[in-house]
């Protein structure tokens, strides 16, 4: 979250009247090789359409 704010990826604004905020969530993935060893960790911050 700190890097998102430091890189000015978004700005906080007031929600327009009559609108709902979307939910946000973290999605984590672990990439493994053919032997099951961890190759890479990945995390994405995504909008939750079910919110």
Which pLDDT tens digit goes with each residue over 27-47?
A: 999 999 999 999 999 999 888
User: Could you tell me the residue ranges of all domains in the chain?
Assistant: 23-51
Residue environment code for 8-27, b if the CB has 16+ CB neighbours within 10 A, otherwise e: eeeeeeeeeeeeeeeeeeee
Name which residue leads in pLDDT, 12 or 17: 17
**pTM across the whole model:** 0.48
């Amino acid at each position: 979250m700190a890097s998102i704010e430091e890189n000015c990826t978004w700005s906080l604004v007031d929600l327009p009247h009559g609108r709902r905020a979307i939910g946000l969530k973290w999605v984590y993935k672990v990439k493994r090789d053919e032997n099951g060893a961890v190759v890479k960790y990945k995390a994405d911050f995504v909008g939750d359409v079910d919110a």
